[in-house]
């Protein structure tokens, strides 16, 4: 036999830490591939040894997810190994349908389903053989994996065009819906596929399975772990069920538990083992219930349960802890406060073993399970060996209303078993010594035996090498896919960056303002087209030169103090107005806004200067102020009105003096309030032709009320400026009595 290398204490301590902190048990995995995959994560985070990586896991809990994604190589595809799937379609599925009489439900279990391609491949083949309606009514496909992230991808069932290349065209068209750039698996079939997290080494197997696929999973496990998994797979299958393994797992199924159906494509059938006691078997016999028995005292029952010596927990159908006897409280750390709490919130739900799966199985199957020889660590030095019985408590109608967990202490039995093994080893050693003496007498037999052992060793080494090569192939394919994905992301990012750069350059060219970007030393890094047109210097002439020494028609040296203030952080931004000459000699007034060039962390990497020509704006403001002074001092009465409600917006000084109202009083009044002879509705009707654009000007003779309470005859001339924003109605008022007096004097 091949000698196993001595275990690395630091590596084994790391595996124990991972198991105790997160319940991820990697102890059954092959040490060579496991060390290699963990070493990849150590290189990624810069950990020098296993102890340093353990410290990294404690400091960064998110690293557990990255580690799990690295260790679990999720390499899969639709209809992987096409010839094998053809045998499943043509031989295995027809046999399963033939054996499933009386419309019996068909159950399929995909172990290590990764991102879901394998269970969906089985679903398509079964739907083709049975029809959509019969499939949705009878088929349940259970798909399990340790990697929760891969299960999330599988539940979404959305795949890229490259991932569905191996799906035959007629199946792709029938069972996938094409979106813009993805393919989504058919919804009705997807409802029949149940995904869940499951550890095939430790969790209870799913039972009554017709087809069980476990492809390229066992090659990652140690021989001892394989010997644990194979009986579990055997138990999960129906008597006429089928096992579908990967192409590198031929030697693993050569046991008395399975017989080959198609050795070339790794398809096996279950060999019934009638002598084996079923996992949910019971040695108790049914006894007739006595109806005349008196009801026991509640306190007596509590005393009996507390003194029974076995730790007992009762989980009701809502998943809460309903009862915990005294041994359970002492052994498992379950207190009075835990009664009524969800069982999944208690440490005992996952230590020493994940119990939620067996409990769910007991609820569904209405039968008990026994989990033997489970290690339960009380502290760093004390370890117990427990056997856990999971028993359903049924009502009179057969339904399960609670689960009883019984924790039996078999530490002593385990010690006796170890002593028995030691005695057996001593016996074997004695036998070997006798055989050695016999070998000295039988030289010929020894040579033949030595030759046979060498051949066996060579065969095992070749098998181990083959499995290692298959593992390396899986890893290489996974790495290749990762590199292709990274290259695609980099290409997309490069295209986006080029697009962003062109877009930014277009924006800077089209802006009606000068944009100048300076580095921390005030050297010019960017100079847009507005700056070229205004100052007559091209970008090639000024890039890389000092802004402080720039010789243009604007005194930029006056901005130095402002730039230093922004660069030092004393001011977030500053603004200055400078007057100068542009490249044509025209007088120009610029508003310059100076801000810092900040990155995402807030660090300052230079300055951004925005130049805006406000010459016309300044001239317009000056003209507006000039016009306001002229209108305000005019002798005529001028009113600016809102054309919708005729309220006063602006009134000049002459109008305020004449009316006897100040500007604040007039802002709360409308023109109809001052016209006693015309109602508001009539005034709106009179103004309608003017507001509709039919008249350029509207004259109106009426009387106007003044502040003293009297009224005077006036002439109104109204003009509507509809093109202004917002539109405005202007009224000029003339005192008719003054005009008539002037005419009489003449």
Choose from 119-128, 498-507, 687-696 the range with maximum mean pLDDT. Answer: 119-128
Give the mean pLDDT of 661-686.
84
Predicted confidence (pLDDT) at residue 678 exceeds the cutoff of 90: no
Predicted confidence (pLDDT) at residue 671 exceeds the cutoff of 90: no
Cβ contact 553:582 at 8 Å? yes
Give the mean pLDDT of 440-468.
70
Confidence band of 173 (pLDDT split at 50, 70, 90): very high
Give Cα separations from 409 to 323, 373, 374 (angstroms): 19, 9, 10
Confidence band of 436 (pLDDT split at 50, 70, 90): low
- Type and span of the H or E element at 574: strand 573-581
C-alpha–C-alpha distance, residues 410 and 416, integer Å: 10
Question: How many alpha carbons lie under 13 Å from residue 121 in its C-beta half-sphere?
Answer: 27
Cβ contact 137:189 at 8 Å? no
For residue 444, what pLDDT is reported?
55
Q: Strand pairing partners for 516? A: 527, 609
Q: Strand pairing partners for 578? A: 590
Give the mean pLDDT of 170-196.
92
Predicted confidence (pLDDT) at residue 274 exceeds the cutoff of 60: no
C-alpha–C-alpha distance, residues 520 and 597, integer Å: 9
Predicted confidence (pLDDT) at residue 160 exceeds the cutoff of 60: yes
Find, among 610, 615, 551, the residue nearest to 586 by Cα: 615
Distance of CA 269 to the CA centre of its chain: 40
Predicted confidence (pLDDT) at residue 287 exceeds the cutoff of 50: no
Neighbour count for residue 148 (Cβ, 10 Å) = 13
Give the mean pLDDT of 707-722.
81
Choose from 33-37, 573-577, 657-661 the range with maximum mean pLDDT. Answer: 573-577
For residue 165, what pLDDT is reported?
92
Q: Angle CA(57)–CA(60)–CA(64) in degrees, nearest 5?
A: 55
Give Cα separations from 706 to 406, 657, 720 (angstroms): 103, 10, 25
Kindly calculate the radius of gyration of the chain based on its CA atoms and give it in whole angstroms. Answer: 45
**How do residues 532-545 score in pLDDT, each as one tens digit?**
888 888 888 888 89
- Type and span of the H or E element at 700: strand 698-705
For residue 318, what pLDDT is reported?
84
Burial label, 116 (beta-carbon count in 10 A; 0-12, 13-18, 19+): buried
Q: Do β-strands 648-651 and 698-705 pair in parallel, antiparallel, or remain unpaired?
A: unpaired
For residue 111, what pLDDT is reported?
92
Cβ contact 671:665 at 8 Å? no
Find the range with the poorest average confidence among 8-17, 105-114, 250-259, 432-441.
432-441
Neighbour count for residue 652 (Cβ, 10 Å) = 22
For residue 194, what pLDDT is reported?
93
Predicted confidence (pLDDT) at residue 20 exceeds the cutoff of 80: no
Q: In the β-sheet with 321-324, what is the strand arrangement from edge to edge? A: 321-324, 311-316, 400-409, 383-394, 369-377
Predicted confidence (pLDDT) at residue 720 exceeds the cutoff of 50: yes
Position with higher pLDDT, 521 vs 446: 521
Confidence band of 296 (pLDDT split at 50, 70, 90): low
The pair of structure tokens assigned to 376 is: 């339960």
| Distant-in-sequence contacts of 479-486, Cβ < 8 A, 24+ apart | 481/75
Confidence band of 284 (pLDDT split at 50, 70, 90): very low
SS3 of residue 451 by DSSP: helix
For residue 278, what pLDDT is reported?
39
C-alpha–C-alpha distance, residues 454 and 256, integer Å: 25
Give Cα separations from 418 to 129, 415, 422, 424 (angstroms): 53, 5, 6, 10
| Distant-in-sequence contacts of 414-419, Cβ < 8 A, 24+ apart | 414/373, 414/385
Position of tokens 């009387």? 703
Cβ contact 650:669 at 8 Å? no
Q: How far apart are the first and last CA of the chain?
A: 140
Find the range with the poorest average confidence among 136-140, 349-353, 367-371, 617-621.
617-621
Predicted confidence (pLDDT) at residue 70 exceeds the cutoff of 80: no
**How do residues 544-594 score in pLDDT, each as one tens digit?**
898 888 888 888 888 888 888 888 888 888 988 888 888 888 888 888 899
C-alpha–C-alpha distance, residues 479 and 666, integer Å: 81
- pLDDT cut 90: percent of the chain above it: 13
Burial label, 70 (beta-carbon count in 10 A; 0-12, 13-18, 19+): middle
| Distant-in-sequence contacts of 528-533, Cβ < 8 A, 24+ apart | 530/611, 531/611, 533/583
Give the mean pLDDT of 405-421.
84
Confidence band of 279 (pLDDT split at 50, 70, 90): very low
C-alpha–C-alpha distance, residues 127 and 124, integer Å: 5
SS3 of residue 573 by DSSP: strand
């Amino acid at each position: 036999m091949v000698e196993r290398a001595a275990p690395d204490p630091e590596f084994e301590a790391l595996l124990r830490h991972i198991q105790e902190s997160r319940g991820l048990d990697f102890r059954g995995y092959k040490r060579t591939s496991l060390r290699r995959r963990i070493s990849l994560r150590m290189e990624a985070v810069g950990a020098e040894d296993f102890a340093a990586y353990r410290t990294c896991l404690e400091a960064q809990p998110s690293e557990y997810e990255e580690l799990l994604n690295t260790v679990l190589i999720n390499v899969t595809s639709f209809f992987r190994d096409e010839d094998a799937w053809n045998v499943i379609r043509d031989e295995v599925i027809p046999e399963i349908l033939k054996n499933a009489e009386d419309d019996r439900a068909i159950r399929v279990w995909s172990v290590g389903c990764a991102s879901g391609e394998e269970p969906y491949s089985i679903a398509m083949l079964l739907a083709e053989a049975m029809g959509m309606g019969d499939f949705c009514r009878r088929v349940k496909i259970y798909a399990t994996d340790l990697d929760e992230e891969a299960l999330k991808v599988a539940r979404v069932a959305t795949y890229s065009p490259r991932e569905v290349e191996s799906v035959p065209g007629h199946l792709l068209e029938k069972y996938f819906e094409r979106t813009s750039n993805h393919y989504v698996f058919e919804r009705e079939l997807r409802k029949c596929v149940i995904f869940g997290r499951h550890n095939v080494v430790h969790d209870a197997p799913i039972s009554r399975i017709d087809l069980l696929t476990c492809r390229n999973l066992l090659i990652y496990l140690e021989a001892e772990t394989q010997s644990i998994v194979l009986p579990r797979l055997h138990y999960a299958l129906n008597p006429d069920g089928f096992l579908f393994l990967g192409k590198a797992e031929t030697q693993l199924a050569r046991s008395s538990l399975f017989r080959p159906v198609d050795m070339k494509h790794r398809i096996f059938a279950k060999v019934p083992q009638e002598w084996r006691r079923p996992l949910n078997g019971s040695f108790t016999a049914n006894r007739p219930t006595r109806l005349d028995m008196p009801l026991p005292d509640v306190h007596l029952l509590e005393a009996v349960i507390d003194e029974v010596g076995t730790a007992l927990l009762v989980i009701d159908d809502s998943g809460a802890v309903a009862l915990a006897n005294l041994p359970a409280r002492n052994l498992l750390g379950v207190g009075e406060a835990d009664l009524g709490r969800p069982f999944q919130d208690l440490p005992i739900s996952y230590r020493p073993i994940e119990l939620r799966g067996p409990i769910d199985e007991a609820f569904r199957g209405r039968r008990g399970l026994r989990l033997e020889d489970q290690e339960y660590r009380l502290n760093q030095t004390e370890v117990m060996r427990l056997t856990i019985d999971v028993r359903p408590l049924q009502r009179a109608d057969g339904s399960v209303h609670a689960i009883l967990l019984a924790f039996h202490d078999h530490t002593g039995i385990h010690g006796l078993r170890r002593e028995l093994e030691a005695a057996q080893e001593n016996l074997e050693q004695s036998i070997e010594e006798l055989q050695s003496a016999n070998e000295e007498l039988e030289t010929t037999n020894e040579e033949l035996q030595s030759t046979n052992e060498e051949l066996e060793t060579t065969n095992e080494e070749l098998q181990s090498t083959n499995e290692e090569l298959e593992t390396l192939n899986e890893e290489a394919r996974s790495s290749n896919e990762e590199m292709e994905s990274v290259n695609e992301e980099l290409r997309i990012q490069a295209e986006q960056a080029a697009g962003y750069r062109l877009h930014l350059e277009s924006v800077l060219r089209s802006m009606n303002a000068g944009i100048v970007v300076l580095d921390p030393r005030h050297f010019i890094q960017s100079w847009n087209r507005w700056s070229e047109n205004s100052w007559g210097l091209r970008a090639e002439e000024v890039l890389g030169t000092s802004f402080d020494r720039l010789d243009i028609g604007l005194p930029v040296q006056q901005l130095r103090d402002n730039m230093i203030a922004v660069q030092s952080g004393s001011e977030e931004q500053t603004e200055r107005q400078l007057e100068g000459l542009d490249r044509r000699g025209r007088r120009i007034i610029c508003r310059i806004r100076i801000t810092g060039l900040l990155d995402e962390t807030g660090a300052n990497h230079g300055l951004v200067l925005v130049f805006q020509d406000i010459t016309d704006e300044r001239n317009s403001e000056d003209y507006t102020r000039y016009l306001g002074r002229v209108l305000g001092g005019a002798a005529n009465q001028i009113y600016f009105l809102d054309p919708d409600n005729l309220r006063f917006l602006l009134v000049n000084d002459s109008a305020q003096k004449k009316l006897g109202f100040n500007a604040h009083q007039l802002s709360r009044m409308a023109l109809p309030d001052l016209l006693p002879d015309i109602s508001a509705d009539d005034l709106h009707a009179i103004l309608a032709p003017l507001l509709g654009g039919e008249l350029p000007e509207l004259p109106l003779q009426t009387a106007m009320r003044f502040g003293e309470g009297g009224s005077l005859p006036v002439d109104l001339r109204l003009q509507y400026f509809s093109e202004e924003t917002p539109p405005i109605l202007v009224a000029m008022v003339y005192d008719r009595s003054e005009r008539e007096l002037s005419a009489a004097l003449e």
